[in-house]
Amino acid sequence: MERMALIVSLMLALPAGGAAAQTTPAAPTGQKTLAATLGISMFPSDGQKPEQQSKDESECYTWAVQNTGTDPFALAKKTEEQKAQAEAAQKQAAQAGKGAGAKGAVKGAATGALIGEIASDDAGEGAAYGAAAGVIAGRRKGKAAQKQAQQQAQGQSEQAAKATEEQMAGFRKAFSACAEAKKYVVKF
Reported as a single tens digit per residue, the pLDDT across 77-88 is: 988 888 888 778
pLDDT of residue 156: 80
pLDDT: which is higher, 135 or 91: 91
Residue 188 to residue 186: CA distance in whole angstroms: 7
Q: CA dist 133 to 121, 138, 146, Å? A: 19, 8, 20
Across the range 21-44, mean pLDDT stands at 74
* Whole-model pTM over 0.75: no
Closest listed residue to residue 143, CA positions, set 91, 111, 99, 110: 99
| pLDDT band at 159; cut points 50, 70, 90 | confident
Q: CA dist 112 to 39, 117, 127, 134, 141, Å? A: 64, 8, 4, 9, 19
| pLDDT band at 171; cut points 50, 70, 90 | very high
Q: What is the pLDDT of residues 40-98, one digit of tens each?
A: 999 999 999 999 999 999 999 999 999 999 999 999 898 888 888 877 877 776 676 56
Residue 88 to residue 131: CA distance in whole angstroms: 32
